[in-house]
Amino acid sequence: MKKYIMIMSVLLAFGNTLFAQVKTQIIAHRGYWNTEGSAENTISSLENAHKAELYGSEFDINMTSDGVLVVCHGPAVGNIPDVQKASFSEVMKVKFENGEGVPTLEEYLKAGKKGFKVKMADGSTKHVKVKLVAEVKSAAPEVEEEVIVKLAALVKKMKLQEQISVISFSYNACLLAAKYMPGVSVQYLMGDKTPEELMAAGINGIDYHYSLMLLNPDYVERAHKLGMTVNVWTVSDKAQMDAFVKLGVDYITTDYPALAKEVIEENNKAQFGAKQLRLR
């Protein structure tokens, strides 16, 4: 009950924006994995995000003990308790239920850069590329720097500056990403900094938990005034999705992209209906 009271309070406080232009985009959390035959942080989950024509696919980056960047949430993966303490060869032996293994970061980025052909309702095909939202997992400061340096080199080599963004719970990793990847969108996840503090440090986006954003709805307007992007994670509840769409967040990260699409479509219909009433 408290959750819904909070949501309604947010909507009432920002009632004048209820019919603003819907601009919110959808990011699939760890890829669009919760479909038959897929798994988190795999190439198939990335392909599913393309097929659903989502804005972006979020994924996690860890570095093995011998310095290879791989895509998995961690710390545990398969029967390995901590991917950062395991060798690359050990991680490559892991197989998920759908038969896929852990992709290297380079494999994942190559698939994202190439994109996928999506079959449309009329039978035609469309080539789609989604935004690649890379979460750098927290580690020792020197490890985080090595990860960011290697990520930056790959991004530059593959010319992905405009297709990728970097997020992290580590403030240090965000500062490093802003330093080594100028021009790339960087968003902080932890939630203990104001938009103004982040912008002053050169971090140009916030990506905060939905509960924090419900308590601080003014962060959206404050961040936008600074030219920052606003993401919110990980939203599973329809009422919460609706609240954030109405607040005008740029992105919703979710495990339920189809539900988020439904909410956005409902808001677009409401917006159209409101415009029709005003024209009468």
Q: Is the peptide bond before 182 cis (omega within 30 degrees of 0)?
A: no
Q: Are residues 168 and 242 in the same domain?
A: no
- Give the chain's domain count: 2
pTM over 0.75, yes/no: yes
Q: Cα(280)–Cα(277) distance, rounded to whole angstroms? A: 5
DSSP-derived 3-state class of residue 115: coil
Task: Give the CATH number, domain containing residue 176.
Answer: 3.20.20.190
**What does the alpha-carbon distance between residue 136 and residue 176 come to, in Å, rounded to a whole number?**
11
Return per-residue pLDDT of the chain as tens, 280 residues: 666 556 656 655 555 444 455 799 999 999 999 999 999 999 999 999 999 999 999 999 999 999 999 999 999 999 999 999 999 999 999 999 999 999 999 999 999 999 999 888 888 999 999 999 999 999 999 999 999 999 999 999 999 999 999 999 999 999 999 999 999 999 999 999 999 999 999 999 999 999 999 999 999 999 999 999 999 999 999 999 999 999 999 999 999 999 999 999 999 998 756 554 454 5
Which structural domain range is residue 44 located in?
30-190
Both ends of the chain: CA-CA distance in Å?
Answer: 38
40 vs 30: CA distance, rounded Å:
5
Nearest residue to 255 via CA among 236, 277, 275, 229: 236
Boundary-marking domain end, from 190, 225, 259 = 190
Structure tokens at 149: 């340096």
Same domain? 93 vs 182: yes
Q: Are residues 61 and 162 in the same domain?
A: yes
Tokens standing for residue 205: 């986006």
Shared domain for 243 and 280, answered yes or no, is yes
Question: 78 φ, ψ to 5°?
Answer: 60, -130
Shared domain check, 56 and 162: yes
Note whether 18 and 79 are same-domain residues.
no
Indicate the residue among 135, 156, 190 that finishes a domain. 190
138 and 45 share one domain? yes
